[in-house]
């Protein structure tokens, strides 16, 4: 086994992964499932709260919206990074989120974005920049997925 690096030490500390609870397989399974439920509940609740804050509070609520969405993004990034480093390919059909869940997340993101943009005094140039930026992100994401699929090594016998 390779030497733990900073990310391994960080996740072990944050997740309390050295706790004796994880030494017993059923306890570990049950706790992992319970933690997954808790994480999903927290993410969706925070997302909904951020949407409500953006629409109800307007510009004044932006710091709170950021305070809710940044930890969501960080948590998601850590989850994906941890999974990838332990050999779990989230691009595979068995792991990928269900269509309903993806649609719900897209709706939430759209509601959040429109809620934040609604009360800002953006000029035409800024809005155009936003649209171009979003389009670029989309193009880069699609290109990265295509490139990653091409580079994926052939399955061994």
Residues of this chain that bind other proteins (CB under 8 A): 24-27, 29, 33
Nearer to other proteins, 25 or 157 (CB): 25
Residue 82 beta carbon to other proteins: minimum distance, rounded to whole angstroms = 21
Nearer to other proteins, 21 or 70 (CB): 21
Nearer to other proteins, 38 or 76 (CB): 38
Please state whether 126 falls in left (phi above 0), alpha (psi between -120 and 50) or beta: alpha
Residue 24 beta carbon to other proteins: minimum distance, rounded to whole angstroms = 5
Residue 109 beta carbon to other proteins: minimum distance, rounded to whole angstroms = 30
Q: How far is CA 54 from CA 14, 20, 61, 86, 106, in A?
A: 30, 42, 6, 36, 16
Residue 20 beta carbon to other proteins: minimum distance, rounded to whole angstroms = 11
Are 72 and 46 in contact by the 8 Å Cβ rule? The answer is yes
3-state helix, strand, coil in the chain (%, to 5): 80, 0, 20
């Amino acid at each position: 086994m390779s030497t733990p690096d900073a990310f391994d030490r960080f996740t072990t500390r944050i997740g309390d992964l050295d706790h004796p609870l994880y030494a017993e397989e059923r306890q570990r399974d049950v706790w992992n499932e319970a933690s997954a439920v808790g994480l999903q509940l927290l993410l969706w609740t925070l997302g909904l709260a951020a949407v409500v804050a953006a629409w109800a509070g307007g510009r004044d609520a932006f710091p709170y919206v950021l305070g809710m969405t940044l930890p969501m993004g960080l948590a998601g990034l850590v989850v994906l990074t941890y999974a990838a480093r332990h050999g779990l390919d989230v691009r595979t059909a068995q792991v990928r989120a269900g269509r309903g869940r993806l649609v719900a997340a897209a709706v939430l993101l759209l509601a959040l974005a429109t809620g934040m943009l609604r009360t800002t005094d953006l000029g035409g140039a800024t809005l155009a920049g936003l649209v171009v930026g979003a389009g670029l992100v989309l193009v880069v994401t699609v290109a990265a997925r295509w490139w990653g699929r091409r580079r994926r090594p052939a399955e061994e016998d």
